[in-house]
Amino acid sequence: MASGDAKQTLFEAIALMGKAFASPRRLELLDLLAQAPRGVEELAEQSGQSVANASQHLQALHLAGMVTRTREGTRIRYAIAGEEALRIWLALRDASAAGLAEVERAAHDYLGEDVETIGREELRERLARGDVVLVDVRPAEEYAAGHIEGAKSIPIDELDQRLEELPDDREVVAYCRGPFCAYAHEAVRQLNARGRNASRLEDGWPEWRLADLSPQTP
């Protein structure tokens, strides 16, 4: 029979991942890395923390197997550690949203009132019919790292100036990083204020990417 010490060691090893999730800063870094690989300086700037603090959090995520790191000259580039790590992060996020009233309240305070939404399968059908135009309102570097096929890149801070690029005879569907990303909400509000018919995709690029990677059921 295995010893109690060995069993304890096993569960301590498993707990490394749980400990990595015990910081909102680390979760924000995972959310950023779910969109595109980044250097530590960029991650620090976009998450509003010092490079030293971001480096410590990334080290914890690396030890837990949630991120990979690659040296590029004198810089280190971080990425989420593959499909399984992405699934774990999204499952944690979605389970928290479904089970904790605090998450729902915080999301409402951050995002404001919800806007018109469209689901993934309905969007696929409408894209095939050509009766909607899909806009990726994330930063351009995230679009370059991966995006929904057929989407046009118009970062949210450029939307107002580039409105003429969108046909006025079709509904505009905006998407960004996921259900807690404010960019798509803001895009729909801007478009509605300009008299345009618009909605947001219920989820975002990471969910769409995983759906495309999953085996299709007959």
Cβ pair 29, 61 in contact under 8 A: yes
- CA of 126: how far to CAs of 119, 144, 184, 210, in Å? 11, 24, 18, 20
Catalytically annotated residue among 61, 176, 181, 191: 176
Assign 3-class secondary structure to 29-93.
Answer: HHHHHCCCCEEHHHHHHHHCCCHHHHHHHHHHHHHCCCEEEEEECCEEEEEECHHHHHHHHHHHH
Does the annotation mark 176 as catalytic? yes
Nearest to 134, CA basis, from 84, 82, 70, 184? 184
Cross-strand partners of 54? none
Nearest to 175, CA basis, from 141, 217, 147? 147
Q: Cα–Cα distance between 134 and 173 in angstroms, integer?
A: 5
Cross-strand partners of 198? 172
Cross-strand partners of 118? 201
Cβ pair 79, 40 in contact under 8 A: no
Q: Which residues are catalytic?
A: 176
